[in-house]
Amino acid sequence: MIFYVANLICSVLLTILYISRWNKSYNTNITIIFILIPIANIGSVLTEMCTTFEGAMMANRISYIGGCFLSFFIINTIFDVCELKISMWIRGGIFAHCTLLYTFAFTAGEGSLFYEHVSYSVINGKVILEKVYGPMHTFFVISVIGYALVSFAAILYTGMKKKKVSSHMLRLLYIPQLICLITYLFNKRFGMEIELLYFGYTLALIVFLLISDRLRLYDVEETAASSVIKGTGTGVILIDNDREYLGSNQAAKDFFPSLASQEVDVVLSDERLKNTVDSWIDGFERNGTTDFSCSLGEGDDKKFYKLNISHLRGNVRVHGWQITIVDETENTKYITLISNYNNDLKREVNQKTHHIVEMHDNLILSMATMVESRDNSTGGHIKRTSEGVRLLIDEMKKDKTFDLSEEFCSDVVKAAPMHDLGKIAVDDAVLRKPGRFTDEEFAIMKTHAAEGAKIVHEILKVTDNESFKKVAENVAHYHHERYDGTGYPEGLSGDDIPLEARIMAIADVYDALVSKRVYKESMSFESADKIIMEGMGKHFDPKLRSCYEAARPHLEAYYSSIDK
C-alpha cells in the first residue's frame, strides 16, 4: 500500500511541477500523458484499498486507462518530435484501436474475452483478484509491445535519416518506452506482488518533464520571440480589423508616448500616429510589404525605428495586425558613420591603387621598350603591335560568337607590349645582326618565346590578378605558334593555341610586313593583306578572319598616320 501511495504522490507532484512550468509550446500529447499517469496510479491505490469484489474490479478498470491509452499519446509524441508525418486517418485508427482495447478491459468480468474467469479472495480485509486471462488480454499485451516497437523504429529511423532532429532528444525518447516495457515484462516474468509498471509510469514522467523542457528550447519561434520582445526592448502594437487599438507593450509606449494614454478598442487618438500606422497596414495589404522604417525628432534627438508588420491570427481567421518596432537609432548612426568612413577610405584606396597600377604598367612598358632598344630591326614595334591588338579586339567585341569578357579584352591589350620580353635573353650578336639569320641563329632567336614566358611569370608572380598573369604568359610564349602546327616553340595547332596568342600573331606579323626593317623595305597594305588572308587556316586562326577584315581599314589608317 505504501508503495502505491508514494508512487501516486510522486506522479501528482511531477504533474503539478509540469503545470507550473507549462508553456504554450509544450506538446499536447505530453500534457495528456501527465494527466493519464496519475489517473492510472489512482487506480493502483484504489486496488489496494478495496474491500469488495465490485470495488476491486472498478479500480482495475481505472488502472487500465494508462495501459490502453498511454501508447497512443506516447507514439504521437514520438512522431511529433521526430517530425514524422502520419495522417489523421492513421491517428484516428490507433485511437480507435486503443479505445477498443479499453472497452474490453472495462467490461472485464462481464464476459470471457478479456478475462476468461475472475475470482477473488480476501486476505486481511483486502480483496485479491485472481484472473485467468482471455484472448483479448493477449491481444492487449501484443498491441502494447507492438506500439513500443513502432516507437523504437520511428526513433531509430529518425536518428539515421533526419539529421536536423536533436540526437539528445532521440535518446530521451527511448527511455519512457523502455522503462514501461521493462517493468511490465519484469512483473510478468517473475510474478511479483508489487506492480512495478506504475513505478515505471512515474519514472517516465520525469523523462517527459526533461523532454518538454528541451522541446521548449528547440521551439525557435517561441524562444526567439520571447527573447527579442523581453530582452531587447522590442515594441509591439496590436491593431484589429476595424483599425482599432488592441494594446501595446511598454517598449512601444516608450517609443510612442501617446500610446500610454490610448484607450483600447478605439482608433488611435494621435492623428499623426494613426495616419502612419494606416499607411503601414495599407502598404502591407496592398503590396505585401512587411518591413518599414520611420524617424521621429530632429537633429541630434532624431530617432530611427525599424518595423515589421504581420497578420494577427487566431486559430482560424485573421483578427488584425501585429506591428513590432525596434529602435535602430544607434545602429543607423553607426552605419552612417561607417559608410562615410568607408567611402572616404575607398576613394583613397582607389587613388592609391590606380597610382600603383600605373607605376606597374609603366614599369612593364619601360622594360619592353628597353628590350626593343637592343633590337636594330624593331623600333616602335611594341607600340604598333599593341595598337594592332586593340583594333582587333575592338572588332572581336562586336562579334557575339567570341563572347569575350571586358576583363579578357583589357588583359590582352595590356599584355601585348610584353610579347617580346624574351629577347632580353638573346645574345646581342644574334639580336642586333643587320641581316637575315642563319639556321643556327634563327634557332637561338626562337628561344625568346619560352624565355619571355619565364620572364613574365617572374615579373607577375606576386600579382593578385591571376587572369592577367595567365594571358601575359600565353601571349609571350605562344605568339609564334601557327594554326597548322608548324610554329614554335611547342608546335601547337588549332584551338590548342590560346586565343590571346592567336590575336597577337596577326598583329605581330602584320606589323612585320608593313614596317621597314634593316633587311627589307616596308610592304604595301595590299600585299600585306594578301599574305595575311592567305595565311588564314595555316598561320592564323580562320575564325579571326572576319574580325581582321573589319579591322583592316583602321589598321591601314593607323599605319598611314605614323612613321614606320
**pLDDT for position 223:** 46
Q: Is residue 343 part of a domain?
A: no
Q: Is residue 289 part of a domain?
A: yes
**pLDDT for position 538:** 94
- CATH of residue 545's domain is 1.10.3210.10
- Predicted TM-score (pTM) of the model is 0.44
Q: Is residue 18 part of a domain?
A: yes
Residue 204 and residue 260 in one domain: no
Q: Is residue 526 part of a domain?
A: yes
Residue 317 and residue 418 in one domain: no
Domain boundary among 175, 195, 218: 218
Domain that holds residue 162: 2-218
Measured in residues, the chain has a length of 564
**pLDDT for position 221:** 46
Helix (H, G, I), strand (E, B) or coil at 108: strand
Domain boundary among 218, 240, 270: 218
On whether the CB atoms of residues 540 and 505 are closer than 8 A, the answer is yes
Q: Is residue 333 part of a domain?
A: no
Would you state the cell numbers that stand for residue 397, as one nine-digit string?
A: 567585341
Q: Is residue 60 part of a domain?
A: yes
- CATH of residue 304's domain is 3.30.450.20
Alpha helix positions (H), 191-327: 196-218, 220-231, 250-255, 271-287
d(CA 199, CA 184): 10
Residue 150 and residue 269 in one domain: no
On whether the CB atoms of residues 115 and 38 are closer than 8 A, the answer is no
Distances (CA, A) of 156 to 10, 87, 170, 236, 334: 31, 20, 8, 43, 50
Residue 115 and residue 238 in one domain: no
On whether the CB atoms of residues 484 and 493 are closer than 8 A, the answer is yes
Residue 315 and residue 352 in one domain: no
Residue 308 and residue 381 in one domain: no
State the total domains in the chain: 3
Q: Is residue 223 part of a domain?
A: no
Name the one residue in this structure whose C-alpha cell is 608572380.
Answer: 461
- CATH of residue 159's domain is 1.20.1070
Q: Extract the residue ranges of the chain whose pLDDT is less than 50.
A: 220-221, 223-225, 227, 229, 231, 378
CA quadruple 47, 48, 50, 54: dihedral sign = positive
Residue 133 pairs in a beta bridge with 115
Residue 195 and residue 235 in one domain: no
Residue 353 and residue 308 in one domain: no
On whether the CB atoms of residues 518 and 509 are closer than 8 A, the answer is no
Residue 116 and residue 249 in one domain: no
User: Percentage of residues in the chain with pLDDT exceeding 70?
Assistant: 85
Residue 520: DSSP 8-state: B
Residue 189 and residue 131 in one domain: yes
**pLDDT for position 374:** 53
Query: Is the peptide bond prior to 417 cis by the omega test (within 30 degrees of 0)?
Result: no
Domain boundary among 218, 244, 260: 218
**pLDDT for position 115:** 80
Would you state the cell numbers that stand for residue 227, as one nine-digit string?
A: 527573447
DSSP 264-280: TTS--S-HHHHHHHHHH
Residue 109 and residue 191 in one domain: yes
Residue 456 and residue 483 in one domain: yes
Q: Is residue 226 part of a domain?
A: no
